[in-house]
């Protein structure tokens, strides 16, 4: 095969093309000018120019979450890289496969405190799955190959490739490696058969079983086998914030989300069960609350996860199964179907009745109002108007929890939010990433007046790329979740949580060339949402500024440090 001599910048571009990259989200600057020059004369992928590097990484992250493919971002050295850090850390906490290419000052200038120099590999080391500094043009292609491989296999995560400017100007032969193998990185795929059989035995004999599914089910594309298994066993199932959509929320076996703002039935079932099957979840603080309280009830725990380090990290596991979720669930299903003994499904009936009683508390009920808009009502109506089939992105805070509670997801990869890092400002760039991936889909960004202002500049990107996302702003003039904690735990001292001097969001949207609505009356919720998602505004970005009840709180709530069964319910107050 004849190989070509091309520049380092062209090698970068060709490598991205070889990986099937569809979108590169980025922002040019000195150290990446050679790469941008190579982008100028290529047509295979589309470059999406954002207005701040943080948004480039968030948008690429959302593209990855919505599609399952590797998201790609390109930023310059120094401030370009540091601006990207929040986005990278966000993707890292939620295990999102991404490759970030950053420019670096020329190799001879590294360490000289050159203009726009920073130690990008050093700064990003704790918040990436892996990173590389490429100092040799002959290693650009193989490094990018490794980066995509590492990002997308095992427990996924962001991988950063830092490339000095001089390397991108040199020339070398281009040969894109077909395969990659690393002696130090061999992620486990198949779960251990002995452990799977042990798990099955425990599951079949469970009297009070619960399945607890997490983000790993969505990331690992394991919705189908999970649904299959749940249906075979007829067990109740709950999900973490990140796992929503992994099992259809409309199924009666679904107990709703668990955790700090989980449903009463999900948290009670989690606490009281005798057998817990955790799938692609990590028992984090917002999910099980106080681990000592959680462990005060004896139960057998089976944990399926691709990351051995997630097992027995916060809670000791009885039957760990390290493996890819799809493979492991399929093995478990096969083992169940091959099981020759008798599975008496009646033994869990008393438990299902107990759960039914918890459900009847109707913990998500809220008092609607004729004068003031209730945020929950907006989300319920949004679900109605979009027929439950939209891509929903959110920022972080009360609106995020209400979105998770009142917009039930039946499909995976529809709910795009920052669960681990809890990054305010992700909502709008997340919506952009989803809309680019699925141009014809309905995409709504559920946000608040505080979060949206953290990446509001991206309204300009929406205009340039004709992204008809609908922004559902639940405007309560407070950083709502901060206010809620101050009300509950700081004696109503609302330190700096009031959002003063807000812009007129309608005019702001209009000045960016979009459509804006301000909605103040509950009776207008539905008609305005119908208009926003209707055929007339199909091609437009719409900013819906809902003026909502300032005093509304998110319930149920497990206070920080408390146990799952120690929830505060709306009816308690």
Partner 1 sequence: MRHIISLLMENESGALSRVSGLFSARGYNIESLTVAPTEDPSLSRMTIVTSGSDEVIEQIIKQLNKLIDVVRVLDLNDGKYIERELMLVKVKANDKHRDEMKRLSDIFRGRIIDVSDNTFTIELTGSSSKLDAYLESLDEDAIIETVRTGASGIGRGDRILKV
Catalytic option among 10, 19, 53, 552: 53
139 binds partner 1 (CB under 8 A): no
Query: What 3-state DSSP class applies to 466?
Result: coil
CA distance 189 to 442: 35
| Lookup: tokens for 270 | 């989690």
**Does 400 participate in catalysis according to the annotation?**
no
Answer yes or no: are the C-beta atoms of 26 and 74 closer than 8 Å. yes
| Structural element, H or E, at residue 391 | strand 391-394
| Lookup: tokens for 461 | 């990107």
One of 150, 269, 306, 403 touching partner 1 (CB under 8 A): 150
- Say which residues have a Cβ less than 8 Å from residue 122's Cβ, sequence separation at least 6: none
282 binds partner 1 (CB under 8 A): no
Answer yes or no: are the C-beta atoms of 277 and 225 closer than 8 Å. no
Total Cβ atoms within 10 A of residue 530 = 12
- Give burial (CB, 10 Å; 0-12/13-18/19+) of 92: buried
Total Cβ atoms within 10 A of residue 345 = 13
330 binds partner 1 (CB under 8 A): no
Q: Residues binding partner 1: what is the number (CB under 8 A)? A: 19
108 binds partner 1 (CB under 8 A): no
CA distance 365 to 402: 12
Catalytic option among 145, 146, 165, 253: 165
312 binds partner 1 (CB under 8 A): yes
One of 65, 129, 208, 470 touching partner 1 (CB under 8 A): 129
307 binds partner 1 (CB under 8 A): yes
- Give burial (CB, 10 Å; 0-12/13-18/19+) of 238: buried
Binding mask 169-208 for partner 1 (x = CB under 8 A): -------------xxxx-----------------------
**Does 116 participate in catalysis according to the annotation?**
yes
133 binds partner 1 (CB under 8 A): yes
Binding mask 38-67 for partner 1 (x = CB under 8 A): ------------------------------
Catalytic option among 44, 115, 207, 550: 115
298 binds partner 1 (CB under 8 A): no
**Does 552 participate in catalysis according to the annotation?**
no
| Segment lying near partner 1 (by CB under 8 A), choices 49-57, 128-136, 204-212, 245-253 | 128-136
One of 6, 109, 110, 121 touching partner 1 (CB under 8 A): 121
| Lookup: tokens for 175 | 């040969």
292 binds partner 1 (CB under 8 A): no
CA distance 336 to 378: 43
Least Å distance, CB 113 to partner 1, is 19
**Does 165 participate in catalysis according to the annotation?**
yes
Least Å distance, CB 122 to partner 1, is 7
Answer yes or no: are the C-beta atoms of 192 and 322 closer than 8 Å. yes
CA distance 431 to 443: 6
Least Å distance, CB 134 to partner 1, is 12
Concatenated DSSP letters of 144-173: HHHHHHHHHSSS--EEEEEEEHHHHHSEEE
Nearest residue (CB) to partner 1, 318 versus 354: 318
**Does 22 participate in catalysis according to the annotation?**
no
Nearest residue (CB) to partner 1, 16 versus 150: 150
List b or e across 319-338, with b for residues whose CB sees 16 or more CB atoms inside 10 angstroms.
bbbbbbbbbbbbbbbebbee
Least Å distance, CB 146 to partner 1, is 9
One of 313, 477, 526, 562 touching partner 1 (CB under 8 A): 313
Catalytic option among 98, 270, 401, 481: 481
Catalytic option among 17, 69, 116, 170: 116
Nearest residue (CB) to partner 1, 162 versus 458: 162
Least Å distance, CB 401 to partner 1, is 28
130 binds partner 1 (CB under 8 A): yes
- Give burial (CB, 10 Å; 0-12/13-18/19+) of 350: exposed
Angle at 215 between CA 433 and CA 552, to 5 degrees: 80
Q: Which residues are catalytic?
A: 53, 115-116, 165, 481
Residues that bind partner 1 (CB under 8 A): 121-122, 125-126, 129-130, 133, 150, 182-185, 307-309, 311-313, 316
């Amino acid at each position: 095969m004849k190989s070509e001599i091309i520049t380092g910048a062209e090698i970068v571009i060709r490598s991205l093309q070889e990986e099937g990259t569809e979108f590169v989200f980025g922002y040019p600057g000195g150290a990446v000018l050679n790469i941008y020059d190579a982008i100028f004369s290529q047509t295979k992928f589309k470059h999406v120019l954002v207005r701040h590097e943080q948004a480039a990484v968030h948008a690429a992250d959302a593209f990855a979450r919505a599609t399952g493919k590797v998201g790609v971002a390109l930023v310059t050295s120094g401030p370009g890289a540091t601006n990207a850090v929040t986005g990278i850390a966000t993707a890292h906490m939620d295990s999102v496969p991404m490759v970030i290419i950053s420019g670096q000052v020329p190799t001879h200038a590294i360490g000289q405190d050159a203009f726009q120099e920073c130690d990008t590999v050093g700064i990003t080391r704790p918040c990436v799955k892996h990173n590389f500094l490429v100092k040799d043009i002959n290693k650009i292609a193989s490094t990018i190959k490794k980066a995509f491989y590492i990002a997308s296999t095992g427990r996924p995560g962001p991988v950063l490739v830092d490339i000095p400017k001089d390397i991108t100007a040199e020339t070398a032969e281009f040969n894109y490696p077909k395969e990659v193998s690393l002696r130090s990185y061999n992620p486990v795929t198949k779960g251990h058969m002995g452990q799977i059989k042990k798990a099955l035995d425990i599951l079949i004999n469970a009297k009070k079983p619960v399945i607890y599914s997490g983000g790993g089910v969505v990331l690992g594309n394991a919705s189908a086998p999970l649904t299959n298994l749940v249906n075979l066993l007829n067990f109740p199932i709950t999900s973490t914030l990140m796992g929503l959509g992994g099992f259809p929320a409309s199924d009666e076996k679904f107990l709703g989300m668990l955790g700090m703002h989980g449903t009463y039935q999900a948290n009670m079932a989690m606490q009281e069960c005798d057998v817990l099957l955790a799938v692609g979840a990590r028992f984090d603080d917002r999910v099980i609350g106080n681990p000592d309280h959680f462990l005060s009830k004896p139960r057998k725990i089976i944990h399926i996860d691709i990351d051995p380090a997630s097992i027995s990290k916060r809670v000791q596991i009885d039957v760990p199964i390290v493996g890819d979720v799809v493979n492991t669930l399929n093995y478990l299903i096969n083992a169940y179907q091959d099981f020759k003994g008798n599975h008496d499904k009646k033994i869990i009936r008393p438990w299902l009745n107990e759960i039914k009683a918890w459900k009847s508390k109707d913990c998500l009920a809220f008092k609607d109002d004729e004068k003031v808009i209730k945020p929950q009502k907006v989300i319920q109506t949004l679900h109605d108007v979009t027929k439950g089939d939209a891509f929903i992105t959110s920022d972080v805070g009360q609106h995020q929890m209400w979105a998770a509670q009142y917009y039930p997801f039946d499909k995976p990869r529809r709910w795009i939010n920052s669960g681990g890092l809890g990054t305010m400002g992700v909502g709008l760039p997340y919506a952009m990433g989803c809309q680019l991936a699925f141009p014809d889909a309905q995409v709504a960004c559920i946000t608040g007046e505080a979060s949206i202002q953290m990446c509001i500049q991206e309204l300009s990107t929406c205009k340039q790329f004709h992204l008809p996302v609908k922004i559902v702003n639940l405007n309560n003039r407070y950083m709502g979740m901060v206010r809620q904690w101050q009300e509950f735990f700081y004696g109503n001292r609302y330190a700096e949580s009031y959002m003063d001097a807000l812009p007129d969001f309608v005019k702001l949207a209009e000045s960016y060339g979009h459509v804006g609505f301000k909605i103040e009356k509950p009776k207008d919720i539905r008609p305005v949402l119908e208009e926003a998602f209707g055929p007339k505004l199909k091609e437009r970005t719409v900013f819906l500024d809902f003026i909502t009840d300032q005093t509304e709180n998110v319930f149920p709530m497990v206070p920080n440090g408390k146990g799952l069964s120690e929830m505060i319910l709306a009816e308690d107050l």
